[in-house]
Amino acid sequence: MSLKQLQGGIRLLLTGMLLSSLSVSLSAETGWFLKVRESQEIWAEGRQVVPAKEEIHTIWQTSQRVRRDKKDGSVLLCLDKGLKYVNGPFGCRISSTADPGPVPGSWSVEETTDQQRIGQWNCQRYLVHYPTQQGVETIHEVWATADIPEYSNGLIPEAAKIKGALVRTVMTIRSTQGPPRVAMMKSELLEARQDGVPQGMLEPPSGCETAERE
């Protein structure tokens, strides 16, 4: 499994945790709007180092669907269909949401007593532990808040230990054997509100091709 594949699997898992945090049944017209700052602070593989970068992503989500829009395209997860639609510079691809990656039960959550105010929210720190896979170690620091109402991580047993909405996550990935590889990525919540979902926002795009498994 490559570094990028592992990152993708972990991001998919965190998206599932975020989806599971909705404690109310939302109608087809109502969902959550999130604005997130994503930053890549370090990414090195061998002697190759990728410069730091930062982007603002917007997210629309309901209990079954979530769409993330970023600079170079969008990703739509349809849990009701079990499909993921990736629309980018090279076209649109469809794949299963059951792609390889960490699964519930293979990771654990440690609650700490550390507290910090991040933006407009009072947050508590958690550490998410993943098993080392194929010589790659992953450390995930999560800051969550109970200040955003109607959030409860009750659908995934381990995620239930994280009380509140995810505000900041810092992921560090490093190799424990073979060529040296390290990546550090951070995600920070800037805005969260319940609102009407724009018409067609969570509908699958047309003209997508089925992606071949790598």
Per-residue pLDDT of 35-47, as tens digits, reads 999 988 766 666 6
Antiparallel, parallel or unpaired: β 121-129 and 136-145: antiparallel
Q: What is the pLDDT of residue 184?
A: 81
Counts of helices then strands in the chain (DSSP H, E): 1, 13
As a whole-number percent, the residues of the chain with pLDDT over 90 amount to 24
State which H helix or E strand residue 20 sits in.
helix 3-20
Residues with Cβ < 8 Å from 180, sequence gap 6 or more? 44, 45, 46, 174
Global pTM value: 0.73
Question: Does residue 205 have a pLDDT over 60?
Answer: yes
Check which CATH number belongs to the domain holding 23 and give it: 2.50.20
Question: Does residue 79 have a pLDDT over 60?
Answer: yes
- Chain-wide mean pLDDT for the chain? 77
DSSP for 91-121?
EEEEEETT-SS--TTS-EEEEEEEEEEETTE
- Total domain count, the chain: 1
Q: What is the pLDDT of residue 8?
A: 53
**Torsion over CA: 20, 22, 23, 26 (sign):** negative
Reported as a pLDDT band with limits 50, 70 and 90, residue 148 is: confident
Show the domain range for 63.
3-210
